[in-house]
Amino acid sequence: MSAAPQKAKPGAEQLAVRVSAVVPLNDLVTRFEFQRTDGQPFPTFSGGAHTVVTMQDDGRTRLNPYSLMSDPADTSTYAISVRRDDQGRGGSLFMHTRVKQGDEMTITYPVNLFSLDLRARKHLFFAGGIGITPFMSMIHQLEQSNGNWELHYSVRTEALGTYVDELKYKFPTKVHVYYDDQSQSIPLETLLDGQPLGTNAYVCGPKGMIDWVHATASAAGWPDAQVHSEEFLAPAPGKPFEVRLCKSDKTIQVGENESLLEAIERAGVEAPFLCRGGACGQCETDVVSYDGEFIHRDHWLEPEQQAGEKIMPCVSRFVGKSLELDR
Amino acid sequence: MSKFQFPESIKSRPVYGTLEPRPGKAHLMIADAEGAEAILDLAAQDASLMAHAHIIYIPKGTDFGDKLRALNPAQYYEGPSYDASVQRLRHVLANAHQGLQVYLTGTEGLMGQAQNEAMQAGIPHTSIQTEHRGSVARRMQCVHCKGITEDVMTDPFVCSHCGLNLFVRDHYSRRLAAYQGVCIDAEDPGNVPEPKELYT
């Protein structure tokens, strides 16, 4: 039983769980807590890990990744916090409207693509909105070893400041909150200046914020290896297209609102995946032939690989006459 | 001629590059002997680095000191040896902040040891720039007695600590900043090939 990524295997190993609590936190965010149905303890995980939640939505299977935000050392309960996205593809709406306490669900073993670098002299966290979730478990982990950390958390309004009260109450000197509606913003350049050598920065939030932190740190001479980020992409909708899967000898249709990976799975073809958000590289698929244009949206492939060599079916799409994949 | 193209070797062997100006809040440059020429080349690319530069230079009998001083670095220190300069280096690193760029140039022994100090201070080795200049002499560790012999120019050589005849390997330790020297006549004591100068 290993949670380590294994090639050519669809997803990490599964855990059967029961929803033990549904806790609305504000207008947009709700926390879901899980306990194992077999009564066994959960595996411990490392701060920043995520789990992929399987949702059975009227015959349609949705698989969405969420950061585990509970204490990594707590083996009785896992918790995720889900922000409702009314314009999204429906996974978060399903969680908010359909999932009730007592429901049985399936989640994967924890997978960590955003772990702490424990060699760091100091951990500097930048969170935007629901990007706070991985930092919740990282903070739990660091507090156990008296770690040196500092959180800078940007939220839209006081009412939408998920976990702000709890964090400020527990760590009044380490947590700094900035409210958009009060025209406050993270003083990034000032914060990056004068940090002790060996400080690592971590950012989770909207794409613009991630790019901003990377670019500003780079311009200030920070080593790239000491600036970490995580952004889960949701697969964007797009025009339907047809794909030939040559190993499986099947031709499938990818609908407007489903990802290529979901269409492959719907056809009964086992495809490897892990994060389903363009970050982990597990679902990398070879392109056999194509006539048209790719819409690459992943954070994984090199530009030369994106030029007709490979595709990440979890987030990327295709427009054109024909596409044949080695799957 | 201070540049030398090392032949391709095993993965363990360090590969050196060419120093280039990079954005940073402060610039720490450490050089010995002909490494001074790489610093002069770097300054020629971007003279503005010098306003925030600290140069630690070990001449090893060369006379580049005046040229380096003429670059007008914010701080300049000339030391008689690496060992004599390491206290200063540690002090600089202990008080440094994120955004420090480190440039190492000169002999392999100097770059390896200074890189080790910078890594221990929290800088990933991947973001420390290096450029080899000057002597191809190696800093060697005897794998038998663990003693370090500096400036080894021949293969095989005699360990300066235990006296064994050592074969010069390309197997490198980043932690020790040294190549590994292994007894060449263990099976047949006294059967030692004629020492040959490195890369000749």
Token pair of B161 as six digits: 């600590």
Q: Answer yes or no: is B9 within a domain.
A: no
In this structure, the answer to whether residues B69 and B117 fall within a common structural domain is: yes
What's chain A's average pLDDT?
A: 92
Helix axes B108-120, B82-94, angle to 10 degrees: 30
Please give the pLDDT value at position A3: 52
Residue A1 has pLDDT above 60, yes or no: no
Q: Which residues of A touch B98 (CB under 8 A)?
A: 192, 194-199, 220-222, 226
Residue A275 has pLDDT above 80, yes or no: yes
Q: Answer yes or no: is B35 within a domain.
A: yes
**Binary contact (A225, B96; C-beta < 8 A):** no
B7 touches chain A (CB under 8 A): no
**What's phi and psi for A291, nearest 5 deg?**
-140, 95
In this structure, the answer to whether residues B125 and B152 fall within a common structural domain is: no
Token pair of B20 as six digits: 């280039």
In this structure, the answer to whether residues B143 and B101 fall within a common structural domain is: no
Please give the pLDDT value at position A9: 57
Range of the domain at B50: 26-132
User: For residue range A240-251, what is the model confidence (pLDDT) as tens digits?
Assistant: 999 999 999 999
User: What distance in Å separates the CA atoms of residue A166 and residue A126, rounded to the nearest whole number?
Assistant: 17
Q: Answer yes or no: is B11 within a domain.
A: no
**Binary contact (A195, B98; C-beta < 8 A):** yes
In this structure, the answer to whether residues B31 and B84 fall within a common structural domain is: yes
What's chain B's average pLDDT?
A: 96
What torsion do the CA atoms of B134, B135, B136, B137 make, to the nearest 10 degrees?
A: -150
CATH at residue B102: 3.40.50.80
Range of the domain at A46: 14-108
**What's phi and psi for A167, nearest 5 deg?**
-65, -40
- Give the pLDDT band (50/70/90) at residue A4: low
Distances (CA, A) of A188 to A54, A231, A243, B22: 37, 19, 45, 20
User: For residue range A39-74, what is the model confidence (pLDDT) as tens digits?
Assistant: 999 999 999 999 999 999 888 888 899 999 999 999
Residue type present at position B68 = L
Task: Provide the whole-model pTM.
Answer: 0.88
Closest residue in A to B129 (Cα–Cα):
A223
Please give the pLDDT value at position A317: 93
Q: Above pLDDT 70, what percent of chain A?
A: 97
Q: A198 CA to chain B: closest CA distance, Å?
A: 4
Q: Is the complex ipTM higher than 0.95?
A: no
> Whose CA is closest to B32, among B145, B129, B114?
B114
Q: Answer yes or no: is B111 within a domain.
A: yes
> Whose CA is closest to A114, among A257, A246, A280?
A280
